[in-house]
Amino acid sequence: MSAAGAGFAAYVVIGNPIAHSKSPAIHARFAADTAQDMHYAHLLAPLDGFAATVREFVAQGGRGANVTVPFKLEAYALASQLTSRAKAAGAVNTLTFEDGRILGDNTDGIGLVSDIVRNAGFDLAHKKILLLGAGGAARGVILPLLEGKPAQLVIANRTVAKAEELVQQFQPYCEQPGQPCILGACGFADVSQQFDLVINATSASLQAELPPLAGSIFSPATLAYDMMYGSQPTVFMQFAAAHGAQVRDGLGMLVEQAAEAFFVWRCVRPHTDAVFAALRAAL
């Protein structure tokens, strides 16, 4: 644990590995732009020492922490209180330390939705959405997507049973008055209709793989969004673009989830455009 050794930091991002994380640069820029007197650093936790690392940081006066791979489930278990979006996601990426309590939140889903709605100018209301994947990232975005009142949300996954479990979990959110939404689960091969928004929340892009999708699910009006980001379009983005779709990667989601965490901690909402542009230029 290195919070003291690296100079005191009131906020950290905890993970393993962690040196690659862009969060310290993002939060430093947010703090400068909003005149917040705060410090934010990397904090490497041993794979078997997440809770101990958090407790030591709290004992040193830490105010909050972002949590990344592989500790989001442990953060969920460690929190003494959870927001409704953290409960729905089943994972925590933002911890706030306050009066001896550990508050657990999840800003990944709202980060994705902010990027799609505000930055890409895509309104979710009455749209047909296809969500590819049923892992942690997919689960975290379902509630914020449903809150946008789409007409339909289909979850397609390689292991169909996992998509079906998510449909069961989130079905009650589709039965709210004024928010009728058809929620469904299937395998990739069963997806044949066209969608307005297709979100790739699988980790296939990490191995430059493509979920086996029909190109006919895309149209020129479709936004194809890959949660992964990099200097080049992912294979999913290339495939969707070749079938006429507009494409977007997950860099904006990264920046927006950070902005939401910053807001949770500091009650100030930072502007994200300049940070996004700087990160994009540095990729």
The residues annotated as belonging to the active site are: 72
List Cα–Cα distances, 188 to 94, 159, 209, 227, in angstroms. 32, 9, 14, 18
Name which position in 24, 53, 94, 108 contacts ligand NDP (CB under 6 A): 108
Window contacting ligand NDP (CB under 6 A); options: 16-24, 25-33, 38-46, 136-144: 136-144
Name which position in 202, 213, 260, 272 contacts ligand NDP (CB under 6 A): 202
Name which position in 24, 62, 64, 136 contacts ligand NDP (CB under 6 A): 136
Restricted to residues 242-261, the positions that interact with ligand NDP (CB under 6 A) are 250, 253-254, 257
Residue whose CB is less far from ligand NDP, 159 or 192 = 159
Per rule CB under 6 A, is residue 227 in the interface with ligand NDP? yes
Per rule CB under 6 A, is residue 158 in the interface with ligand NDP? yes
Q: Which positions ≥6 away from 78 have C-beta within 8 Å? A: 50, 51, 54, 92, 95, 102, 104
Which ranges constitute the DSSP H helices of the chain? 23-34, 50-59, 72-78, 84-89, 108-114, 136-147, 160-174, 235-242, 251-266, 273-282
Per rule CB under 6 A, is residue 232 in the interface with ligand NDP? no
Q: Total binding residues for ligand NDP by CB under 6 A?
A: 26
Name which position in 2, 203, 238, 246 contacts ligand NDP (CB under 6 A): 203
Cβ 184 to ligand NDP shortest distance, Å? 16
* Cα 129 to the center of its chain, rounded Å: 17
Q: Which positions ≥6 away from 110 have C-beta within 8 Å? A: 85, 144, 256, 257, 260
Instruction: List residues bridging with 140 in a β-sheet.
Output: none
Judged by DSSP in three states, 201 sits in: coil
CA distance 153 to 148: 11
CA distance 50 to 259: 24
Per DSSP, 111 falls in state: H
Name which position in 70, 135, 184, 187 contacts ligand NDP (CB under 6 A): 135
Cβ 211 to ligand NDP shortest distance, Å? 4
Residue whose CB is less far from ligand NDP, 227 or 247 = 227
Per rule CB under 6 A, is residue 159 in the interface with ligand NDP? yes
From first CA to last CA, the distance across the chain in angstroms is 29
Residues within the interface to ligand NDP (CB under 6 A) = 108, 133-138, 157-159, 162, 201-206, 209, 211, 227-229, 250, 253-254, 257
